[in-house]
Structure formats: C-alpha cells, structure tokens
Structure 1
Amino acid sequence: MTTLALTGSPLWYASRTGGTLALILLTVTVVLGIASGGRTAPRRIGRFEVGLLHRNLSLLTLVFLAVHVVTTVLDPFVHLSWAVTVVPLSASYRPLWLGLGTVALDLLLAVLVTSGLRRRLGVRRWKAVHWLAYAAWPLAVFHSAGTGTDTRLSLQLWLYAACLVSLVGAVWWRVAKAGRGRVIGRLVAALGATTVPVVLAMFLATGPLQPGWAQRAATTVILHGGGR
C-alpha cells in the first residue's frame, strides 16, 4: 500500500476542503436569510446591502460546492461518474449518503436558475423555489456526516455543532421576533429546527461514530486498502 493511499490524494483533500467550506458558507447564507427576513430585518443596514451580501455568499457557496463535486468525481479512489452529481442514488459507493448531497445540489441549482428568471416567474413562484435552499441545508449536513471520512474527528464534530447552534438560534430568534399570527408556521419552524440536531446526534451515535461504519455505509468493495 502506498503512502498516497494511506494519507489521501491531493484531490481527496481538495474535495473535503471544498465540501467543508461549502457547508460553512451554506450555513452562514441560510442563517443570514432567516435572521434578516420578515419583521426581523436589520435597521442599521439597508435591505439592499443585506440582499447583496446574501447573494454573494450564495454564489461563493456554489463555487466551493463546484470544487467539492469536481474533485470528488476526479478522485480515483472511488470511481464515480458525472451522472452522480445530478442523479440521486446512482452511485455504487455509499449511494444513500452521496445521494443526499446530490439532492442538496439539485435544490441549490434550482434556486440559482430560478433566481436568474425571477422577473419572469414572479415573486411568489420564486419565493416558493427559494425555500428549497432551507431544505438543502439538513441534506448537506447529513451528507457530510454520512460520507465524510473525517466525521469522527473532534474538529469536524465541533463544526457540525456550531452550524446546528447557529441555525437553530436563528430560527428561534426569528420565531420570537415574528409577533402574533401564523402560529402554526412558527411552531412547525421551531419544531423542525429542534428536530434536526436531535436526529443528527442519534445518527452520529449509532452510525459514523461506531466502528465499521465505512464498511456498513459502502456497498462496493474498495481496492487499495479499505476506507480512508
């Protein structure tokens, strides 16, 4: 077994770095969108500046996401086709967890395309699709936890915790500032935000943090000496 196989190729490191940065930026983007929406819009900063920052962060997220996807496909450790990037559950290696990442990518691409067609679609249709970005976030988190070979590292776990605390805090702050009305919507948002960290903690405890997760998560035999 070569040293490269043990330590990972440059493409593997680029893939993990790109994926981690994309998750961080996606979290910041979603938190900003939640915290600055509705009646919770900041008073000292104009909506235009907030919207511009939100858009730039979204584009930067897609840049690092593209780096993550391209380097993952090009990495010879696992032979993945380009179809995996757009067709969920089409991978032979960890299909479920890679599939979650594919669905998240598809949702973000839908948001990107419809943002370019915002004037033609109308505000209501555009907002309906734009909400998909919020659904992409938990999918990305579970994709990272289930597929990432560094999930068991303390630094990575602290990263997940920080992302979860930030998003749950933003949702609860938005709910608290929402005022009266739309009680059902507020309860659903608060319950959903609270459920994600609980489910993720249970998943980590019974899955990636347990011995043999690499073998259980994968459905194909990987050459060059098992999972990284």
Structure 2
Amino acid sequence: MNTAQLAWFTARSSGIVAWVLATSSVLLGLALSTRLVRRKGVPVWLNSLHRYLGTLTLVFTAVHLGALVADNWVHFGVADLLVPMASTWRPGAVAWGIVALYLLVAVQVTSWCKRWLPRRLWHAVHLTSIPLFVAGTVHGAQAGADRGHAVVQWGALVGSAGTLFLLLFRTMSGSGRRRRGRSPRVGVGGLRSGRSDGGNALGDQGLDGGVEPAVGERGGQRREHEDAVRLLIALDDAEFLPGRLRDPGSGPEAVNIGL
C-alpha cells in the first residue's frame, strides 16, 4: 500500500468514525436531557462520556481533513475544505461537510468554555448539534465513498431514526412541562415555617418562582394535609431527582445536560 492509498483509506475510515461518534454524542445528549434517563438521576460518568464523544468527534474530523489534503487523487486544498462551494469536486456535498465542521467547532469550543459563558448562549449554541448531525449525514450520503454499502446505509438509518425519536420525545415532554407550569395548581405556601407573614420556609418565592402561595384555608382553619399534597406536587414539578448533577459554577441550579 502506497502513501496515496493510505491517505485515501484513512480519509474514508476517519469520516465514518467521526459520523458514528457525532451520532452517539447527539443520541446520548438527547437521552440525558429527557426523562428517559433523568427520572432515575444522571450518573457522572454518562455526562463525562457525552463530553468525550464530542471531543473524539473533533479529533477524527481533523484526521479526516488531514487525510483529504494528503490524498493526491482529488487534490483538495485548504480553501477547498474550509470555504463552502470552493471545491471543484462535488462542491455541494463538500459544502455540507464544511457547515458540519463549523457547527462542530462551535459546539465543542462553547462546551469547553461553558463555565465562563452565559448559560443561554451555551444552550443556544449547543442546540445546533441537531443541524450538525443533519449536515454531517447529508455530507456522508452525498460524498462518502462507502455510502453504497449496506452496513453504512443501515447505520445511517438507525442513527437518524433514533435521533428523530429522541428529539420528538424531548420536544413533547418539554411541551407537557410548560403546560403544567401554566396550570392554576400552585406551589408551597404558608407551610409551618413559624412565619406570620404568609411566607414559607423556602423563602418569599416558592418552588414555582413567584406564584401566589396556596394557604389552603377553609372556614378560617388551615388544612395541613392539603399543603403537604401541594408540597409533593411542587417538588415533582421542580424535578428534585436523586443523583442530579449540579454545576458548581452555576450555583444551586441543576445542570441542563445535553441539548
């Protein structure tokens, strides 16, 4: 095997591995951000695995680009691999890969710098993992030399179906939580905190963040069992799960893992 053949096989294999790693990272991130995993708590090693998969995706993408430059069959230049539509070889297919590359770099860099960035900014950039997956899949389907193999086709089908399922599941779960948040059911209020001002033991704003406290009074008498039921409902809506990770750099809020 000569140098040209080695570069060509390296480019093909590293591209496939990079897509598999990216797909695994997206699937794990979506699973970690839904109740499929969070209901039982998120182990620390799963969050670490999610980060490692993203980093490995960037590493194998760099190997993929280096092998393409070293290959002397198509003669890719640096501009061909960094500027969309600059390549003379399948410019559209290559452009999809360039878009995926830029999104990958943005997601990984903001993840590494998460503790120094506003959480809204990090989360907005992290959501581009879905367009990243789409762009990478289209790039592989149009430019991949192995796209005709049954294993590659079935792998792409399973990865795409899993991503779509988890994305729909996460979206529907989030819509359900927002509807519950707008319901008239309120949080903790006037619980036996020893306060005479109608406040509660958790502060002036209950777990629902500013809704009016439920005092549960009828006929001038406080019904303590109704307060206890509301407390359990509020704790359930607030998702106080055992084993939830907490971000030491973001205060008492739980970490929003994944997408």
Q: Which runs of 5+ in 2 are unaligned?
A: 180-259
Task: Give the TM-score normalised by the residue count of structure 2.
Answer: 0.62
Cα offset, 1:172, TM superposition: 3.1
Residue matched to 1:149 = 145
Structure 2 match to 1:97: 93
Hey, what's the Cα distance between the residues in 2 that align with 1:138 and 1:60? 19
Query: How many residue pairs align between the two structures?
Result: 178
Distance 1:40 1:178 in 2: 13
Taking the aligned partners of 1:127 and 1:175, their CA distance within structure 2 comes to 15
2:109 matched to 1:109?
no
Q: As a proportion of its length, which structure holds more helix?
A: 1
CA distance in structure 1 between the partners assigned to 2:175 and 2:128 by the alignment = 24
SS at match of 1:9: helix
Q: Distance in 2 between matches of 1:158 and 1:40?
A: 25
Pairwise CA distance, 1:150: 2.0
1:181 to partner: Cα distance: 4.8
Q: Could you tell me which residue of structure 2 aligns to residue 126 of structure 1? A: 122
Residue 28 (1) aligns with residue 24 (2) = yes
8 Å CA contact retained: 1:35, 1:173: no
**2:63 is the alignment partner of 1:67:** yes
Q: Is the 8 A contact 1:150 1:156 kept in 2?
A: yes
Show the counterpart of 1:18: 14
Quick check: 2:81–2:87 contact (8 Å CA) kept in 1? no
Work out whether residues 29 and 50 of structure 2, in 8 Å CA contact, stay in contact via their aligned partners in 1: yes
1:162 aligned to which of 141, 158, 163? 158
| Superposed displacement of residue 113, structure 1 | 2.0
Q: Deviations over 1:137-184 (max 9, x none)?
A: 00000000100122122222112112112212222332454461558x
Counterpart CA distance in 2 for 1:152 and 1:182 is: 44
Percent identity, aligned pairs only? 33
TM-score w.r.t. length of structure 1: 0.70
Q: Distance in 1 between matches of 2:83 and 2:175?
A: 41
Deviation at 1:26, TM superposition (A): 0.6
Match of 1:53 in 2: 49
Shift of 1:107: 0.8
Residues in 1 aligned to 2:40 and 2:34: alpha-carbon distance in whole angstroms: 15
- Matched residue SS, 1:32: helix
**Larger Rg: 1 or 2?**
2
TM superposition shift of 1:92: 1.2
Root-mean-square deviation (CA), in Å? 2.3
Distance 1:132 1:42 in 2: 22
